[in-house]
Amino acid sequence: MTDLMKGSYETELVLSEKVSPSSFLLTLSKPDRFIDAMPGQFVSIKIGSGTSPLLRRPYSIMDITKNSIVLLVRVVGKGSALLASRRKGDLIEIIGPLGGSHFELKNGLNAVFVAGGTGLVPLVFAARKWTKEKKPGETHLLYGAAGSDEILADLCMGDFTEVHIATIDGSRGFNGNVVEMFQDLSERGVLPEGELFSCGPVGMVKALLDSNPASFADHHTSLEAVMACGVGACRGCVVPLKSKNGIKYRSICGDGTVFRAKDIDWKRWGK
Ligand SMILES: Cc1cc2nc3c(=O)[nH]c(=O)nc-3n(C[C@H](O)[C@H](O)[C@H](O)COP(=O)(O)OP(=O)(O)OC[C@H]3O[C@@H](n4cnc5c(N)ncnc54)[C@H](O)[C@@H]3O)c2cc1C
Ligand code: FES
C-alpha cells in the first residue's frame, strides 16, 4: 500500500494525438503539486462542464514526466468521446493520483507483462519507471488486440526488451489471443523466469491465471471496474479476496488497483 497524497487539479491539454481508429494519447500539463505516481494508479477526470456525464471517469497513468501527465483514452461511450474531442489549450480537471496499491518489482528481476487493449497503459508506466529507477532484468510485453488497426503497442516498442503481438484476426503477429500466445511462448522457452504482471479484460486475466504460469514467482494484476467515487468511499467497486478467515472485500479504487491474481475470488466476483 502507498500513502501518496492526492489532490484536485486543473490541468491544460498540451497535446492530443489520434493513435488508432478509436484511441487518443492525451498529454496534460503536470501541476507543480501533483506528486509522483506509481504504476497502477489512475486519475479521475471531470468530463463535461455540466452534469452530463455526472460521474468522473477513471484513466490509468501511462507516464509522468517533469512537466506532463500522459493518458491514453479509448472512445467507448459518451464520456470518453467528449474527452477525446477536447482540444489543445482546454482545461481539464483531474483528481489524483488515486489507488492504494501499485505494481512493484525487485531490482534485477525479469518482468513479463501481459496486456489486452488499454490494459497496456499501467504496464507501460511500470516498464518506463522501472527502467529509469531500478535495474530490471529482461522485460517482455505480450500485447493482444482484435486486429492490427487497434494495436497500441507501437507506442512503446522501445520500452521493453521484447514486444510480442497477437491479433485475433491474424493480421499481425501471433494468430490468436494473448493468452494463447503466452502459452506458446512459454512452451518454446522464450519467456524468462521472473514476475508476471497483467492488465486487461477480466476474461483475459482469468485465462492467464488458469494457464498456470508455474515458472513465475508471482502474478499481480491491475483491475478495472465502473467507478463512482473513485476513493474507496461508496463501496461500488469492491472485489472479493480469499483470506484465511473467509472472504474480505476490498475496493479497486481505494485498495487497488493492483492485487495478487490468485487472491481474487474470481467465481464470487461473477464477472
Ligand atoms: C482504474 C481504471 C483505469 C482505466 N484506465 C483506462 C485507460 O487507461 N484508458 C482507457 O481508454 N480506459 C480506461 N479505463 C476505462 C474507462 O474509465 C472507461 O472506458 C470510461 O469510463 C468509459 O466512459 P464512457 O462515458 O465513454 O462510457 P460509458 O457510456 O460509461 O460506457 C460505455 C461502455 O463501456 C463500459 N465501461 C464503462 N466503464 C468501464 C470500465 N471501467 N471497465 C469496463 N467497461 C467499462 C460500459 O459498461 C459500457 O458498455 C479505466 C477504468 C478504470 C476503472
Ligand atoms: S468507486 Fe467508490 S469505492 Fe470504488
Same-domain pairing of 115 and 180 = yes
Q: Is residue 150 part of a domain?
A: yes
Residue nearest to atom 25 of ligand 1 (CA): 79
Q: CA of 87: how far to CAs of 24, 31, 81, 114, 169, in Å? A: 12, 19, 12, 32, 34
Q: Is residue 112 part of a domain?
A: yes
Of 98, 132, 163, the last residue of a domain is 98
C-alpha 58 to ligand 1 mean position (Å): 7
- CATH code of the domain covering residue 199: 3.40.50.80
Same-domain pairing of 89 and 22 = yes
- Which of 57, 121, 237 maximizes ligand 1 atoms within 8 Å of its Cβ, making it the mutation to test the pocket? 57
- CATH code of the domain covering residue 241: 2.10.240
Same-domain pairing of 251 and 227 = yes
Enumerate the β-bridge partners of residue 28.
13, 69
Residue 242's domain comprises 223-271
The separation between CA 25 and the C-alpha centre of its own chain, rounded to angstroms, equals: 14
Same-domain pairing of 155 and 213 = yes
Angle in degrees, CA 46, 83, 177, rounded to 5: 115
- CATH code of the domain covering residue 41: 2.40.30.10
Q: Is the CB of 235 under 6 A from ligand 2?
A: yes
Q: Is the CB of 22 under 6 A from ligand 1?
A: no
Q: Is residue 2 part of a domain?
A: no
What pLDDT is recorded for position 2?
44
Same-domain pairing of 116 and 200 = yes
Sheet containing 174-175, strands listed edge to edge, beginning at the edge strand earlier in sequence: 174-175, 162-167, 139-145, 111-116, 194-199, 216-222, 258-260
Same-domain pairing of 135 and 80 = no
Angle in degrees, CA 45, 197, 229, rounded to 5: 25
C-alpha 233 to ligand 1 mean position (Å): 19
- CA-nearest of 149, 86, 228, 145 to 163 is 145
Residue nearest to atom 39 of ligand 1 (CA): 226
Q: Is residue 264 part of a domain?
A: yes
Q: Is the CB of 233 under 6 A from ligand 2?
A: yes
- Which of 76, 205, 259 maximizes ligand 1 atoms within 8 Å of its Cβ, making it the mutation to test the pocket? 76
What pLDDT is recorded for position 3?
44
- CA-nearest of 98, 89, 97 to 27 is 89
The half-sphere exposure of 16 on its side-chain side, counting CA atoms within 13 A, is: 19
Sheet containing 57-60, strands listed edge to edge, beginning at the edge strand earlier in sequence: 57-60, 42-45, 91-98, 7-20, 23-29, 68-74, 63-64
What angle separates helix 202-210 from helix 178-187, to the nearest 10 degrees?
A: 20
Q: Is residue 175 part of a domain?
A: yes
Residue nearest to atom 31 of ligand 1 (CA): 77
C-alpha 76 to ligand 1 mean position (Å): 7
Q: Is residue 90 part of a domain?
A: yes
What pLDDT is recorded for position 213?
63
Of 76, 98, 120, the last residue of a domain is 98
Same-domain pairing of 201 and 236 = no
Residue matched to cell numbers 490468436: 176
Distance, in Å, from the CA atom of 180 to the CA atom of 108, rounded to the nearest integer, reads 27
Same-domain pairing of 141 and 249 = no
Measured from the Cα of 234, ligand 2's closest atom is 2
Ligand nearest to the Cα of 150, by number:
1
Residue matched to cell numbers 531490482: 107
Q: Is the CB of 6 under 6 A from ligand 1?
A: no
CB-neighbour burial class of residue 119 (10 A; exposed 0-12, middle 13-18, buried 19+): buried
Are 38 and 2 within 8 A, CB to CB? Answer: yes
Q: Is residue 1 part of a domain?
A: no
What pLDDT is recorded for position 1?
41
- Count: domains in the chain: 3
Of 60, 75, 98, the last residue of a domain is 98
Q: Is residue 265 part of a domain?
A: yes
Ligand nearest to the Cα of 253, by number:
2
Measured from the Cα of 226, ligand 1's closest atom is 41
Q: Is the CB of 61 under 6 A from ligand 1?
A: no
C-alpha 60 to ligand 1 mean position (Å): 10
pLDDT tens for each residue of the chain, 271 residues long: 444 467 899 999 999 999 999 999 999 999 988 888 999 999 999 988 777 777 889 999 999 998 999 999 999 999 999 999 999 999 999 999 999 999 999 888 899 999 998 999 999 999 999 998 888 899 999 999 988 888 887 888 899 999 999 999 999 999 999 999 999 999 999 999 899 999 999 999 999 988 866 677 789 999 988 888 889 999 999 999 998 888 999 999 999 999 999 999 998 886 6
Same-domain pairing of 235 and 206 = no
What pLDDT is recorded for position 267?
87
Same-domain pairing of 133 and 87 = no
Same-domain pairing of 45 and 110 = no
Same-domain pairing of 90 and 119 = no
Ligand nearest to the Cα of 228, by number:
2
